[in-house]
Structure 1
């Protein structure tokens, strides 16, 4: 359900937050970027996809895969753990150069940079990113902004619970400030590698690393929200209260798009068939798994054909143990997809049963509804109802057909369980921030980075190239905590 934001729109900020103020809409509409009339570059690097564009725009200019194709037979993934730190850095520099020179046609050193990041972004990735931007690309400054907060900006929402599951331009990196949208879980070495690539290889003038959960609140103008970001490898829930990410109430689970693809593969091996050239059918084998992964067929099945079924059907399917021989609802029709020279038969049970992995109640690996309720359960008593009425969903899996309705039903059912009833049992209302006729779940955090990048304050929040060259360190929210504790101990 769409809802207006709070009337209070002051530009409050802390060391780890960006205010969801109405002033950002004025700046967003006018394209303000301070004394520098060149709009900053906004970058959000995800596990599978990277979104790039300019501040003040409503959609990314380009959405590309987070991998480098550089003459090798197989693409190189950014931050591949099998590569050394220096190899990761060189790959990152080449990737950023492709973004600035091919997608944006600009140089980094003349542009401010805003990086939309998760509040859980590892510090080492942050430093690697800063190193790449400052040392390789000569970026003048960087702003790291939290994605969950920025996701509320389009909805003008002061209170929300955010769940976080192109074109071409003529410019170069050194002509633009850069905004990097990052996860709060992003490793520090990746952050430093990115900064090094942008500053030293692309001459970016400045970079802002922004937490993706915080930025996700910006498009909704929400000062208070519960942001759920369902990414490729994990789902992260972080409350945003009065423009501040409440990190001690965050929840994380490995239930993401990768788990959906794994479930599709499991169900295909159990129920799927392959039609050979002669018309006969056979079971799937290990060679088929290679084709499914290489050609992106698993991802294609999840995005195009899978859906979240109604709660009553889902509970019946789970109770039956995903067994066709039990009394379960009649599945939908299947589909056929090319698999090399053969045809892959995707049964209806694969389409309907795949999404159940996100709703299976589990004490060891929490489901999406459990993540949300656990986060709200540990939140202050006066904001629990507000958070469940202010949900913001981010990430590709949240755009699955039927996901919103199923999640609402599951939350209303689980809130009555003994483990939640003591504090949440009286809450029955569940509402979401949404923009009609859009796919904002896919790039809400990027839009938040675009909005923040259009404000005058960007240049004061960013890390400049000079600072990077002097210290070679990208500060983050943990550094601020250390500084505050040190000051108190004096």
Structure 2
């Protein structure tokens, strides 16, 4: 990121809350395609104007014979959540990076044309990317935007740098806990230190832990396994007492047309809702007595089944830090403390105090209650031998943490000093894909 240290460490309030004159001149768009949601908006704005699920539905329609078929992609807030006969479900990202490019143009089109109502040929586009993105992926994204959307200019920027920038920092230890990956990325003077990048598929492991826990029930408290039938398949339900079997009727007309991929998505969505409503993180590490002393949470599922969750509601959150509830094993992914330790060990000793003094916490799963305090305590333990003041930037505003990379891109693309970094359409035509690696460091 070729910006001065003074620029990268400037006070965030100087940049973020209004569209700047520079942003208006170029009318740049910022697009952040994440595993959970896609965010799109104008450079200089404080929040994206469009936020919709990246997961999409698709239906196949035949005209005449089987060789003449049309696949329709359903995007937006009602794209996958609206039940459709025979609709399958997909997501183009794995491990935080694009692996299936087929739906990507449709996602970009939905973001720019249908949500922002913009002509992409009139707006430079800044894209975000994870620190471990491949060069082939970066070039493919540039190709799509230049060749299919005819954008006048393009840039792709690293999520870690952008999250640091959103916090007003040029040097930072960025801890990002998203939907598919938890990562720790060291940033120094606006550049990612690639040898220090550490990542782990902890969020899916926490999700699977919660799914199994809910499905199996808990005989110790007299709770049967919860049926995770989504509301879209339920015709009616009757109120029942806590921990009693639910009384509900399915919509029979929807059973034949419900696909396995849609049902899997819907069941996991119910688990996500339960996580958002019940799961917490113990700030001092796992302790049975401390967990039992925390206030329980009552939760009702779409079927009408309800239960009260006590200490076990902290188990999915504990997966991020220890695996003792899972029995251990070499096949389990590294925990957050292990990621932080690996990241710090891979950086120069002289830089570690600056990183620990500028920790940035971001990502939707970082919002779990108690997560920031637990990370602070883990960092204090890990940093025992490093002479540094430990300081975590963890905004209380959920939008600032969920959308940190987008916000950093909004700030970056609105700076007058950034204009020199855009890859123009003319440069793309002259130099081809190689210009991406040369310009987007």
TM-score of the superposed pair, with normalisation by structure 2: 0.74
Mapping for residues 121-140 of structure 1, pairs under 5 Å:
121-140=133-152
> What is the CA deviation profile of residues 354-395 of structure 1, one whole-angstrom value per residue up to 9, with x for unaligned ones?
100001067762211221122123322222222222110110
- Which residue of 1 is the match for residue 52 of structure 2? 64
Q: Is the 8 A contact 1:47 1:233 kept in 2?
A: yes
Q: 1:366 aligned to 2:366?
A: no
Instruction: Flag structure 1 segments of 5+ consecutive residues without an equivalent.
Output: 1-9, 144-208, 318-326, 416-423, 482-490
Q: Is the 8 A contact 2:17 2:46 kept in 1?
A: no
- Which residue of 2 is the match for residue 22 of structure 1? 10
Mapping for residues 21-40 of structure 1, pairs under 5 Å:
21-22=9-10, 26=14, 31-32=19-20, 34=22, 37-40=25-28
TM-score of the superposed pair, with normalisation by structure 1: 0.67
- Which residue of 2 is the match for residue 299 of structure 1? 272
Give distance in 1, aligned partners of 2:39 and 2:88.
Answer: 18
Q: 1:462 aligned to 2:422?
A: yes
Give distance in 2, aligned partners of 1:307 and 1:328.
Answer: 10
- Which residue of 1 is the match for residue 87 of structure 2? 74
Q: 1:41 aligned to 2:62?
A: no
- Which residue of 2 is the match for residue 93 of structure 1? 105
Change (3 A) 1:473 1:426: closer
Q: Give the Å deviation of 1:339.
A: 3.2
Q: 1:247 aligned to 2:194?
A: yes
Mapping for residues 261-340 of structure 1, pairs under 5 Å:
261-268=207-214, 269-271=216-218, 272-273=223-224, 274=226, 281=244, 293-294=265-266, 296-312=269-285, 314-316=286-288, 329-330=292-293, 332-340=295-303
Local SS of the residue matching 1:232: coil
Give distance in 2, aligned partners of 1:398 and 1:123.
Answer: 28
Local SS of the residue matching 1:335: strand
Q: Give the Å deviation of 1:93.
A: 1.5
Q: Give the Å deviation of 1:293.
A: 3.9
Q: 1:225 aligned to 2:217?
A: no
Q: 1:445 aligned to 2:433?
A: no
Instruction: Flag structure 2 segments of 5+ consecutive residues without an equivalent.
Output: 58-72, 75-83, 228-236, 247-257
Mapping for residues 154-193 of structure 1, pairs under 5 Å:
none
Q: Give the Å deviation of 1:289.
A: 11
| Of 432-441 and 49-58, the range deviating more from structure 2 | 432-441
Out of 387, 396, 405, the position equivalent to 2:373 is 405
How many residue pairs get aligned? The number is 376
Q: Is the 8 A contact 1:49 1:65 kept in 2?
A: yes
Local SS of the residue matching 2:114: helix
Q: 1:54 aligned to 2:22?
A: no
Q: Give the Å deviation of 1:405.
A: 1.0
